[in-house]
Every structure is written in C-alpha cells, then in structure tokens.
Chains A and B, each alone.
Chain A
Amino acid sequence: MTENRSLPLDFQHVSKTFSIGKRTIEALKQLSLTVEENSITALVGPDGAGKTTLLRSAVGLYLPNTGEIRIFGYDTRQYSDQIHALIGYMPQRFGLYEDLSVAENLNLYADLHQVSMTDRQHRFDDLMLMTGLAAFTDRLAGKLSGGMKQKLGLACTLLSEPRLLLLDEPSVGVDPVSRRELWRIIQHQVKQKGTTVLLSTAYMDEAERCDKVVLIDDGEILAQDTPEHFKARLSGHCFRLQHARMPYRQLQSRVNASEDIIDSIIQGESVRVVCKQTKLPDFPADIAEHLNVSPAEANLEDAFISLLRQRHPVTHQPPLQINQIENSKNHSNDVIRVEQVDRWFGEFQAVKKLNFSVKRGEIFGLLGANGAGKTTTFRMLCGLLPVSNGQLSVAGVNLRTAAAKARAKIGYMSQKFSLYANLSVQQNMDFFSSAYGLKNQHRKQRIQWAIEQFDLKKDLTSNSGDLPLGYKQRLAMACALMHEPEILFLDEPTSGVDPLARREFWARTNQLAANGVTVLVTTHFMEEAEYCDRLVIMVQGEVMMAGSPAEIKQQAITAECPEPTMEQAFIHLVEKKQS
C-alpha cells in the first residue's frame, strides 16, 4: 500500500441507495471525487442532494453499494479502525453532553479518542484559546449559545488532531460573528497543522473561501472547480436594475417573467438579475424606458443557480391569489407597535426597553446574533411569551388584554417544522383551518386554495413528516395563511434550506407583502436582510440599529470597506458595539 502518497479522500464510482418504506432513494449515483491534501473543499447543493450521505460514507458510517472509497489509501470496507484514527467528523448535530461542563466534554472526547494525558493539557489550552471558550470551561454545555456549542463541537473533533476533517454544515443556525470565528479555527488548522478539510455548507460566502467547490445535485456531481472559475463563467451576465417609476418588488416580478432571466433577487432598493446572455433581454417599453442599469459582479450563488436551473427549470407558479387586505378602521398604519418592552427571566434581562413599529405591508426583519434577544422578542410578538413591562400591540389589539383576538390575525411559521408529522397533509390542513375558526364552505374554499397555490395535490394523503423539506415548508406556509392573516411571523424560515427553495419562498413572501400582508421575519442569512424593507439589529437585548438595509449599510462604511455587504455591515456594527 502506497499510503504516504495516497489522497486523503478518493471516491471511485460510489453508489449508495436507501429504502425508506416502499421508496428506494439513490443518494449517490456512480459518484467519483478526490480531495487534495492540505486543502479545503466545500460541498454545496440542494437539500437531499447527497451531501450528508457522502460525508457519512467517507467516515465509514455507510458502506457503498458499489464502488470504492479510500481514505489515505485505506478502504472503508476493511480498515475502519485505521481510518478513524486519521479523521475527525462533526455531524450536523454534534453529540455534546448537555449536562456536562465544557471541560468535562473535552475530557470525555479526549478519553474516547485516547489522547494521552501528556498531550491533553496543551491541546486543551490551544483549543480553548482558539475557540474563545477559555472563560466558560465550567459552564454546562447545554447552557452555551448555538455558536459556542458549535465551536465546542469543533474543538472536541480537533482533539485527536485528525489529518482529514469532515464537517457537515458546521455553521447552520450560527450567527455571523460566531460563523467567522469557526472559519478562523478551520483555516488555522489547515495552515498550521496541514489538515485536509471537506465540509458541506449552505452559505455561499463560506464556499467562496474554499480551494475547491463541488456542486452536487441528486447524488451526482454537477461541477467542481475553484470558486474563481465558477464565478468567471458568469462574469458579464449580472446587472443591477433600478426603475425610476416602479417599486422594486414590482420590477422584480416583471423582469422575472422574461425567459432570458435566470435569476433575480432584491438587493437594497434595486433588483439584481442574472441573464442567459451577456446583455439584458429586451424588456417591454414601460420597463425599458426608465430603467437604470449598472453591471454587477458575478458571485458563486449565481453560478450554482444557473447550473441548477438547467436541471430544475422554474416551475412558474401561479401568482399567489390573495385577497387584498384593506386598510381597516384603525387609521394608524402601524400594524405592530412595541413600546418600552422589557422581558426578564429571573435575574436576567433578555429584552431591554424595546421600541419599534412595523407598517402595514412591510417586510420587517429582526436580526441579531444568538442570544441577542431576537427569539424572545419574536415570541412576545406572537403572544407565546408575556411581556414583563411595556406595551405591545399587534394588528391594533393589545396582546395583554385580547391575546386570542390578536392571534386570530396572525400567521406563524417556525424554523423547525412544527406541524403534526404523523398526520397527513390533508389532516393537517383540516385541523389548522378549524383551529382558526374557519367553517363550512369558507373552510373548504381555503383548503382548496392552499392545495392549488402550494401544489400539494399529489401529496394530500402522505404523512407530512415524510415530505421533502421544501414541501414541508410549503405546507407550513399554507397552514399559516389558511385564515388570511394580516401579519405573518416567520422565525428563521429559510434556515438549512437550499438556494432554490429559498428563492421560491421569498417570491411568495414578496407577493404577500405586495398584497398588504405585513411580514415579520427573523433570519441568520444576511443577504436575506436585503429583502426586507426595514429591519432592526438587536444586540444584548437592545435595538442597536434600525432602518432600511441601505441606511444600515451606510453606517458601516469604512475606509477599507467602501461598499459593505449586509453581512460585513452586521459584523462591523456588532463588533463596534461590543468593543
């Protein structure tokens, strides 16, 4: 065996199938992939593309049906012990023991990986310093924030100093600041220790930092290249559009109708489009006349969307049929008003003197790092948590005095799939429509509406828990919109969802807003903050910044960063506040 010269990872024509119930799923189809020593490779692709299966196969947790997997020359079928000594694997949910402290977790994993007592102390010190967890060694792992847990998980994985590090979506649900720290650790390992890293990610900015990016879809590799080459494919295809007369949301839906537009997103107050050719298509006169066009730089996401679109053409959904919400009796335009709201948990003040208001038909973003009080605020607005002090009115109703009445006017969708998993799609819709007090003919109409709008007809009898993630989300949204709410609350709706499904989701949300539904959304994806009309950024329970995305970015302009992205602006502002 020529093990010294062997590649860290070598997949040769690997196939893997699973059977779930009666269905057989081909998770990997004749997939071949190699990873070079001392490099970072990113796996990207839609949900269910096979990213996790690929990583688990590399660890030896799944054995291939056909083909061969070699890790540093060792076949995963025969040499699992040797392989385990060489690799570190961090699954999506790392198995931290929540009732053990940070130090106890580290010790446990050191024992499991048989790290000698002499090596242990300086490795602990190194890792604690690197992860910034040194001050928290006595804290229970269960009491750490999401970002800290993830860093601790990574630290535990790095204890055995693996030569190949496999990370499955290490930064899902982690705020931008913690995400950047995680990356520092990973890059440090590669530079200082010569580690090889293979990771899957839903964040394009992370993929951009890798040496190689592999796009998989449906168990096959669509393309693999350096990020620069990927971007180069689409240079000259991207433009930023602004219209003198037309609001940007309307502009987006108009330009999207063109066959030659691959993708369009809202960025600030303009619409960013990716075209099939290196020029814009001919728009109808009313658009073309007042259009202000400037070229935009291609990014990695553009490249992936254009590749994926060739396999998954846009199914032009019927435009969402929504009854326009009239400006009802209350003349005030503020649909949500938060005045001097406090929330205490025992001695800890999670939300401090919060003030903001949301106008009708607005998409309003609530941003913040983990533990900033964003979830607490969100839950108070939905009536899931009472306020300790202050006034909160939703849809013109005070939540303290008429909570049930206020709840009838809101729709709610949480990041975790929270419908009844063992009930069928139809049963879920039946239940939620009744729960919101819909009756007889009206109820039938609304359910029919949901089936048509969200294309749920063929899945009506399937258990909702068995649906693919994208469909689960459609169903959740259908249930949330069943009673035609005035306000829609979305709690990290796109967490862990792939770019295509995210596009579909935002297209719907925009239509809702255009029809007068107010949308309040929390998100970790900073580029999604761009889709909001206005947003607040919370830090340590307080509003640090409020305004439109452009206004917020304005405040983060520095000499070295004249045109910050939303993410850069966020990190800059949070760090400025904390220092």
Chain B
Amino acid sequence: MIFALIIKEFLAILKDPKSRFVLIGPPIIQLFVFGYGATFDLNHVPIAVYDEANSVESRQLIARFEASPAFSRKITLMHQQQIAKVLDNKDVLAVIHIHPQFDRDLALGKTVNIQIIIDGRDSNTALIALSYMQTILAKYNLAMAQQYHTPRPAARLQIRAWFNPDLNSQWFIVTGIIGLLTLVVTILVTALSVAREREQGTFDQLLVTPMTPFQILLGKAIPGLIIGLIEASFIIFMAVFWFNIPFIGHLSALYLGVFLFVFSVIGVGLMISSICVTQQQGLLGAFLFIVPAVILSGFATPIANMPPLVQDFTLINPLRYFLVIVRGVFLEGLPAEVLFNQYWPLALISLVTLSLAAWLFRHRIY
C-alpha cells in the first residue's frame, strides 16, 4: 500500500508542470547564481588616486595598487574637494591620497604617511579592501627597505590558510548551497503535499481507505526523502565536477549527514503540511521556516559572531549542523567519528519533528 502511495506521490509531482519546475528549475538557477554571483572576494574594486607628490616614487607605489587584480584606478583626482564627491556618489570605494612631502620624507628616511579614505557604508567590503591594501603596503615596505638598506621590520606575518589555501570564497559558498538547496526543495515538496490534497479534496478520499494515518504519513515522507537525496547528490556532483571544489573526505560521512538532515527537514515540512489547509499557506509556512533557518545557519555569517541568545537559538536549526558536516567532509576531510557531535543533534531534531508531524497529522485530520 505504501509503495502505491509513493508511486502516486511521484506521479502527482512529476505530471504537474509547476511542481516539476520547482524540482528542477530553482536548484540549477540558484546553484549558478550563488556559485558565481555570491562571493566575498574583491575583484576590480574602483579606486581613485589623489597624488599630490606626482613623483617617480609615488607613481611606483600607485602602480603596485594597479597591478593587483583586486583594484583598478578609475579616477585621478586633482583637488582635495573632489574626494568627498567621488565617495558620496559611490564612484569609487576608496581614495588613495599621497601628500606632497612624500619624496622628501622618503629621501630623509622618515616614515611617510599615506592616507586611505574608504567608504565604510558596506563595512564588510571596506574591511576586506583594507586588508588587501595593507598587504600591498607591507610588500612595498619590504621592497623599500631592501632598496634603501634601512632596517627591516622586526617581525613579519607569514600566513598560510589551511583547507582553502587561496581563501577562495567559492569553496565556502558552494558547499553551503548543498545544504541550502536540499533544504528548500525538500521542504517545498513535503510542505505542499498534504495541503495540495486538502485543496483538491483528494485527502478525504485517501483517509477513507484502510490505510492508517501513519502509513499515509510514511507515504508522504519517503518521496520527500528520495527527492531530497537526489537533489543533494546532484549538487554534490556539480560542486565536485563543475566548480572543482576539492572533496577530501569520505562519501559515507557526508551521506550519513545528508540522510539525517533530509529527515529532519521532512519532519518540519510535514508539520507545516499538517497545519495548513491550502497550498498558499503551505508555501508561506515553508518560507517562514527557510529564511531564519538560512540566516541562522552560518551559511554566510558566522554563528560565533551572533549574540549569545541567538547562538543558543541556532542549536535547533538543522541546517547549522549540516553545514558543519558538508564543509568538514569536503574541505577538511573529517571522518564520521569527529562529526558525531553534529550527527546526534540532527537525529534528535528528526525524531522530534517527525513525531510532532505524526501527532499533528492525527489531530488535524478532521
């Protein structure tokens, strides 16, 4: 009987052009939009230069900025007053201001000041741009010290980024998408399934068959599980073979996580479904869950930066655990034993949401 339900559920989803699109369209679109569009790396950030010294040395320094792929000089300023204008208009992100005394101070062996005026409205971008600029200046200092035989800085930072040597943010984002898209698709499929039947009046017809509510619930959960697994596998495949994200861990450790994660999401989806009467309500319910779940997951902003109360709140968010698992397995190659502390909360969440869904299902049938 459950087998028949599963077949029926798949037919109902696949024969309806709209729900078929939900399964195929958004995942592919989102994968590419996020994969290429969402990045923390800076490229060709427009800057302006106000070079009052206008000497060989100053131009050498500016050339170092221009040589970096992160920046490109868009405007050359002539007056002090222009600075405010180009920043206000967002023509450039930052202005590099070199004072007239630049050569003289340099020749005298004094430390010269270079002023950087940066647009702080987008604090995240400003910080990243600043750190790039500091790196450029540090290299410049070193070259100067060699050239003029001045004492070199006493200590120098030597940075090596583990797991992501180039600090390529695509590695971070695409691994996050695996969790994000699996969440969206699975929750939509399950949250709409019962609501769709209620809307079309087929739910009563289903309830008068000898199947028990538990069997019906199972018949709704298993298609969700299968679809969630296929969806996740597709994105994992794309991450490895299209985006070339290194996969150094074990598939088994990853799939244990996928499995538990999809289960917990199905529980939430079915809970939404058993409360809602129309598909519209189901859709609304799904998004009420998805948006906070993504924001409070560490998908983009680290959980560690959140206020303590919010941090505690993220403990009930299944995506939080799953993102640790995906990134851990992909980039760090973590084995299943180490991820145990991520698995058991997911298993617990699944158990709670599925039982709640079953309870709601029995009590909201009428």
Bound CA–CA A384/B204 (angstroms)? 7
Q: Which of B5, B16, B208, B209 sits near A422, CB closer than 8 Å? A: B16
Q: Which among B6-14, B45-53, B113-121, B298-306 touches the partner chain?
A: B6-14
Contact with B along A377-388 (1 / 0, CB 8 A): 001001111100
Bound CA–CA A437/B211 (angstroms)? 9
Contact with A along B196-215 (1 / 0, CB 8 A): 00001110111111111000
- Whether A418 contacts B202 in the complex (CB less than 8 A), given A427-B11, A431-B7, comes out as yes
Kindly state whether residue A407 has any CB partner on chain B within 8 Å: yes
Q: Nearest-CB distance from A537 to chain B (Å)? A: 24
Count contacts on B: residues with CB < 8 A to the other chain.
24
Contact with B along A395-435 (1 / 0, CB 8 A): 00000000011011010101011111111000100111011
Chain A residues in 8 Å Cβ range of B204: 382, 384, 412, 414, 418
- Whether A418 contacts B201 in the complex (CB less than 8 A), given A423-B15, A431-B7, A435-B4, comes out as yes
Chain A residues in 8 Å Cβ range of B209: 407, 432, 435-436
Closest to A422 in B: B15
Q: Nearest-CB distance from B5 to chain A (Å)? A: 7
Chain B residues in 8 Å Cβ range of A417: 201
Contact with A along B169-207 (1 / 0, CB 8 A): 000000000000000000000000000000011101111
Kindly state whether residue B3 has any CB partner on chain A within 8 Å: yes
Q: Nearest-CB distance from B306 to chain A (Å)? A: 39
Closest to A413 in B: B205
Bound CA–CA A312/B212 (angstroms)? 44
Bound CA–CA A408/B208 (angstroms)? 8
Chain B residues in 8 Å Cβ range of A434: 1, 3-4
Bound CA–CA A404/B11 (angstroms)? 25
Chain B residues in 8 Å Cβ range of A489: 208
Q: Nearest-CB distance from A296 to chain B (Å)? A: 39
Chain A residues in 8 Å Cβ range of B162: none
Chain A residues in 8 Å Cβ range of B210: 404-405, 407-408, 435-437
Once the chains bind, are A414 and B201 in contact (CB under 8 Å)? yes
A interface: dominant SS: loop
How many A-B contacts if CB must be within 8 Å?
74
Kindly state whether residue B366 has any CB partner on chain A within 8 Å: yes
Once the chains bind, are A423 and B366 in contact (CB under 8 Å)? no
Once the chains bind, are B8 and A383 in contact (CB under 8 Å)? no
Chain A residues in 8 Å Cβ range of B206: 435
Q: Which of B7, B11, B200, B366 sits near A418, CB closer than 8 Å? A: B200
Once the chains bind, are B202 and A419 in contact (CB under 8 Å)? yes
Q: Which of B8, B205, B207, B211 sits near A427, CB closer than 8 Å? A: B8
Chain A residues in 8 Å Cβ range of B202: 418-420
Once the chains bind, are B205 and A421 in contact (CB under 8 Å)? no
Closest to B5 in A: A435
Q: Nearest-CB distance from B193 to chain A (Å)? A: 12
Once the chains bind, are B211 and A435 in contact (CB under 8 Å)? yes
Chain B residues in 8 Å Cβ range of A437: 1, 210
Bound CA–CA A404/B366 (angstroms)? 16
Q: Nearest-CB distance from A473 to chain B (Å)? A: 14
Once the chains bind, are B207 and A384 in contact (CB under 8 Å)? yes
Bound CA–CA A463/B15 (angstroms)? 10
Bound CA–CA A2/B201 (angstroms)? 51
Chain B residues in 8 Å Cβ range of A420: 8, 11-12, 200, 202
- Whether A423 contacts B200 in the complex (CB less than 8 A), given A404-B211, A436-B210, comes out as no
Once the chains bind, are A384 and B201 in contact (CB under 8 Å)? no
Of B15, B208, B211, most A-chain CB atoms within 10 Å = B208
- Whether A385 contacts B366 in the complex (CB less than 8 A), given A423-B8, A423-B12, comes out as yes
Q: Nearest-CB distance from B173 to chain A (Å)? A: 37
A residues 279-304 near B (Cβ < 8 Å) are none
Once the chains bind, are B5 and A384 in contact (CB under 8 Å)? no
Chain A residues in 8 Å Cβ range of B15: 422-423, 463
Q: Which of A384, A386, A427 sits near B208, CB closer than 8 Å? A: A384
Residues of B within 8 A of A (CB): 1, 3-5, 7-8, 11-12, 15-16, 200-202, 204-212, 365-366
Q: What are 18 sample pairs from A and B whose C-beta atoms fall under 8 A apart? A: A379-B366, A382-B204, A384-B365, A384-B366, A405-B210, A407-B208, A408-B210, A412-B204, A412-B208, A414-B204, A416-B201, A418-B200, A420-B202, A430-B4, A431-B8, A435-B4, A435-B209, A437-B210
